[in-house]
């Protein structure tokens, strides 16, 4: 369906005699798209994260191709641990039979300061000047948000890695505050400057992820597949969202 006509009736691709052409195009689109980074690392782009907005994940097909071609596979698990990752663990892992050894959780100093509740950020406008000043107390005030995400990942029996996406304007003691918060939660930590420095800036993160993957895990789902629908919703609401 592509819209409605003036009588309020739905108009479909078939009505426009375009369904056949679309099917021919999709025949190729069903195959994972092999790309590469500027440093020649292979990347498979397939249906995600917005190809299937319900889960915010890339495809099972791409993951199985990737896992068969490399020692380590990093896959998009969407948005936050309470949204994309929850669906990734409970739905995609169950369907694919693949279980992750670690989960990389990207954080920023600015985001933690925002979660402190001390600042108001308006889209399209500059950040409040106070957010850019050196203030580790703001980072600690926003720490409960990061702690909750670590807790959610741990609930699936997966080893969490906090990857701090470092901005050039971040201050050393603020970065150290995030490190301490992550370590207090029992998570691995790495400060990454890949945006500025490319792959070299993510070398520490890569080493930390490898170390996390070597730890023993006991992967588990939030609910049993045969459980009643209401029980599944309750399990997610209480176990993941904190209801």
The predicted-structure confidence for 71-95, as pLDDT tens digits, reads as follows 999 998 878 898 889 999 999 999 9
Nearby residues of 9 by Cβ (< 8 Å), 6 or more positions away = none
pLDDT digits (tens, 9 = 90+) for 11-56: 999 999 999 998 888 777 778 889 999 999 999 988 765 555 667 7
Q: Rounding to the nearest 10 degrees, give the CA dihedral for residues 191, 193, 198, 200.
A: -50
d(CA 1, CA 228): 32
Give the closest residue to 73 by CA, choosing from 209, 220, 215, 218. Answer: 209
Give the closest residue to 240 by CA, choosing from 217, 222, 220. Answer: 222
Give the closest residue to 154 by CA, choosing from 226, 103, 203, 79. Answer: 103
Superfamily of 101-218 according to CATH: P-loop containing nucleotide triphosphate hydrolases (3.40.50.300)
- Where is 166: in which H helix or E strand? none
pLDDT digits (tens, 9 = 90+) for 154-204: 999 999 999 999 999 999 999 999 999 999 999 999 999 999 999 999 999
Q: Tell me, what's the pLDDT at 22?
A: 87
Residue 104 forms beta bridges with which residues? 161
d(CA 89, CA 111): 24
pLDDT digits (tens, 9 = 90+) for 190-240: 999 999 999 999 999 999 999 999 999 999 999 999 999 999 999 999 999
d(CA 129, CA 156): 38
Give the closest residue to 190 by CA, choosing from 212, 211, 163. Answer: 163
pTM for this structure?
0.85
d(CA 153, CA 101): 11
Read off φ and ψ for residue 205, nearest 5 degrees.
-60, -40
Q: Tell me, what's the pLDDT at 27?
A: 79
Q: Tell me, what's the pLDDT at 26?
A: 78
Burial of 203 (0-12, 13-18, 19+ CB in 10 A): middle
- Could you tell me the residue ranges of all domains in the chain? 1-30, 101-218
Burial of 97 (0-12, 13-18, 19+ CB in 10 A): exposed
- Where is 163: in which H helix or E strand? strand 159-165
């Amino acid at each position: 369906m592509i819209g409605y006509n003036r009588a309020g009736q739905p108009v479909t691709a078939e009505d426009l005699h375009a369904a056949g052409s679309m099917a021919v195009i999709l025949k190729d689109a069903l195959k994972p798209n092999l790309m590469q980074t500027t440093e020649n690392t292979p990347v498979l782009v397939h249906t995600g994260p917005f190809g299937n907005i319900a889960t915010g994940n890339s495809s099972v097909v791409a993951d199985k191709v990737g896992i068969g071609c490399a020692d380590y596979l990093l896959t998009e698990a969407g948005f936050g641990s309470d949204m994309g990752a929850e669906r990734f663990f409970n739905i995609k892992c169950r369907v694919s039979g693949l279980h992750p050894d670690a989960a990389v959780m990207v954080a920023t100093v600015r985001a933690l300061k925002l979660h402190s509740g001390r600042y108001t950020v308006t889209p399209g406008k500059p950040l409040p000047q106070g957010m850019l000043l050196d203030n580790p107390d703001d980072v600690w005030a926003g720490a409960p948000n990061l702690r909750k995400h670590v807790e959610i990942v741990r609930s699936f029996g997966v080893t969490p890695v906090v990857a701090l996406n470092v901005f050039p304007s971040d201050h050393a003691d603020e970065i150290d505050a995030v490190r301490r918060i992550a370590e207090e939660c029992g998570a691995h930590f790495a400060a990454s400057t890949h945006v500025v420095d490319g792959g070299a800036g993510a070398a520490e993160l890569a080493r930390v992820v490898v170390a996390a993957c070597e730890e023993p895990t006991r992967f588990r789902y939030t609910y049993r597949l045969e459980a009643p629908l209401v029980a599944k919703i309750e399990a997610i609401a209480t176990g993941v969202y904190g209801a």
